[in-house]
Structure 1
Amino acid sequence: MELIDRPTHLGVRPRTFMRLPLDRNPTARDLVVLGVLYDESGRCPGARLGPGAVRDASASAHVDGADRGPGTFDLLDCMDGGDLDLTPWIAGTAPDILYKRLSHLLGRNAAVLLLGGSRSLTLAALRAVAAIHGPLALLRLGADPAGSHSPDEFLARAVAERLVDPSAVVGVGVRGAAASGGAGGGLMLDVGRFGRLGVRGAAGLVRHRIGRRPVYVSVAVDVADPAFAPGTGVRVPGGLTSREVLGLLRCVGDLCPVGFEVTGVSPPQDRSGITAALASEIGGELIHQYARAQRIPM
Structure 2
Amino acid sequence: MERIASPARSRARPPTFLRLPFERDPTARDLVVLGLPYDESGRCPGMRLGPDAVREASALAHVPGADCGPGTFDLVDCVDGGDIDLTPCGSGTVPEVLYTRLSRLLAGNAAVLLLGGGRSLTVAALRAVAERHGPVAFLRLAADPVGPHPQEDFLCRAIEERLVDPSAVVRIGLRGASGRAQGGVMLDVGRFGRLGVRGAAEVVRHRIGRRPVYVSVAVDVADPAFAPGAGTRVPGGLTSREVLGLLRCVGDLCPVGFEVMGVSPPQDLSGITAALASEIGGELIHQYARAQRIPM
**What TM-score do the two structures reach when normalised by structure 1?**
0.89
Q: For 2:277, which of 267, 276, 279 is the aligned residue?
A: 279
Closer/same/farther in 2, CA of residues 107 and 136 from structure 1, 3 Å limit? same
Deviation at 1:150, TM superposition (A): 4.0
For the Cα contact (< 8 Å) 1:6–1:15, is it kept in 2? no
Q: Deviations over 1:206-235 (max 9, x none)?
A: 000000000000000000000000001110
Q: Deviations over 1:64-104 (max 9, x none)?
A: 744565421011100000001325669x8110000000001
Aligned residues between the structures: 286
Identity of aligned pairs, percent? 79
Q: Supply the RMSD in Å over aligned alpha carbons.
A: 2.4
Q: Indicate the residue corresponding to 1:288 in structure 2.
A: 286
Separation in structure 1 between the aligned mates of residue 39 and residue 255 of structure 2, nearest angstrom: 27
Superposition map of 1:75-154 within 5 A: 75-87=75-87, 93-144=93-144, 149-151=150-152, 153-154=153-154
| Counterpart amino acid of residue 281 in structure 2 | G
| Counterpart amino acid of residue 169 in structure 1 | V
Q: Deviations over 1:167-212 (max 9, x none)?
A: 00000133222x6x86111211100000000000000000000000
Establish whether residue 191 from structure 1 lines up as the match of residue 220 from structure 2.
no
| Counterpart amino acid of residue 220 in structure 1 | A
Closer/same/farther in 2, CA of residues 294 and 205 from structure 1, 3 Å limit? same
| Counterpart amino acid of residue 198 in structure 1 | G
In structure 1, list runs of 5 or more residues that go unmatched: none
Establish whether residue 202 from structure 1 lines up as the match of residue 200 from structure 2.
yes
For the Cα contact (< 8 Å) 1:142–1:223, is it kept in 2? yes
Separation in structure 2 between the aligned mates of residue 14 and residue 67 of structure 1, nearest angstrom: 27
Closer/same/farther in 2, CA of residues 254 and 64 from structure 1, 3 Å limit? closer
Q: Indicate the residue corresponding to 2:3 in structure 1.
A: none
For the Cα contact (< 8 Å) 2:34–2:83, is it kept in 1? yes
| Counterpart amino acid of residue 283 in structure 1 | G
Establish whether residue 168 from structure 1 lines up as the match of residue 168 from structure 2.
yes
* Segments ≥4 residues shifted beyond 2 Å: 4-7, 11-14, 60-70, 87-90, 117-120, 148-151, 153-156
Separation in structure 1 between the aligned mates of residue 22 and residue 55 of structure 2, nearest angstrom: 12
Closer/same/farther in 2, CA of residues 110 and 295 from structure 1, 3 Å limit? same
Matched position secondary structure for 2:119: coil
